Amino acid sequence: MTIQLLGTPDPTLGLTVVDEKGLPLAFDTDQTGRYLTVATLNSSQVYVSYYTQDLTSKSGIFWIISVNSPYPLKVVLPVNATPVDMNLLPTKIYSTGRNLAIEYPAGSLQLKYVILARANKTADTLLNVTRNVPGLERQRNRLQLLEQLLARIQERAKGIHKQLALQLKELVQEAVNLAEKAPEMAKNNPGELARQAQDIGNRARQMRGGGRGP
């Protein structure tokens, strides 16, 4: 049996192949390290476990998973991670423990996500920068409220249906974009900053209550 691996296994951490009973199976890799030949014997299932650094990259606060898979995929995101962009429509979204799991059909996937705990630290830094600017106390309080609402929405999102999850993705992206622009807007157009923060906050409250945004 020949299996195409997704990414080159890390040679320092090794690779394991077992059957449905957890018993090890003999295997061999080709010269590229991307294809595995397994002696399945009478096994009905084969499980391959390995570590690879080929599938994930980071740009700013965003983590990006890029993979071209001939198999259906199940992606389990880190704790506090929220997807903000994806090019494939998922077939299933659900929680597994404290993690969000997303299943996709076979194909070329690019999934971008942000870890809110770290995004919150970035937002805190932006708030500290603008803390002493006159007239920004209300905007700062609104952004802090938005941050709390988004954290609650993330918890709720673990069990919601696909459409609401996509709305959450868009809302989080807007909030992240607003946080990145907050210092400049606070100086040049604080009224617009307040309006956008209020708009996102209102939509977040609607999602928290299970309703749909406008």
24 assigned to some structural domain: yes
**Domain end among 99, 114, 129:** 114
Beta carbons within 8 Å of 8's beta carbon, 6+ residues apart: 32, 33, 34, 52, 54
Over residues 147-176, mean pLDDT: 64
33: left (phi over 0), alpha (psi -120 to 50) or beta: left
Does a structural domain hold residue 214? no
Number of separate domains in the chain: 3
Which residues form the domain of 17?
2-50
Kindly state the average pLDDT of the residues 129-133.
Answer: 45
Q: Kindly tell me if the per-residue pLDDT of 164 is higher than 90.
A: no
SS3 content of the chain, % helix, strand, coil (to 5): 40, 30, 30
CA distance 168 to 157: 8
Q: How many CB atoms lie within 10 A of CB 139?
A: 22
Q: Specify the pLDDT at position 197.
A: 80
**Is 7 domain-assigned?**
yes
How much is the pLDDT for 17? 94
Are 91 and 106 contained in the same domain? yes
- Domain check: are 82 and 70 in the same one? yes
Helices (H), the chain: 116-130, 137-157, 162-188, 190-208
Is residue 164 domain-resident? yes
pLDDT tens string 93-119: 888 888 899 999 999 999 999 887 554
Do residues 98 and 88 both lie within one domain? yes
pLDDT category of residue 74 using cuts at 50, 70 and 90: very high
Q: Are residues 64 and 100 in the same domain?
A: yes
- Residues 8-44 have pLDDT tens digits of 898 888 899 999 999 999 999 888 888 999 998 888 9
Q: Is residue 213 part of a domain?
A: no
The predicted structure's pLDDT at residue 137: 55
Residues facing 3 on adjacent strands: 36
Do residues 109 and 124 share a domain?
Answer: no
Are 121 and 203 found together in one domain? Answer: yes
- Give me the half-sphere count of Cα atoms (radius 13 Å) on the Cβ side of residue 186: 23
The predicted structure's pLDDT at residue 156: 55
Per-residue model confidence (pLDDT) at position 45: 92
Same domain, 103 and 131: no
Q: Which residue has the tokens 């999934």?
A: 111
Q: Are 123 and 192 within one domain?
A: yes
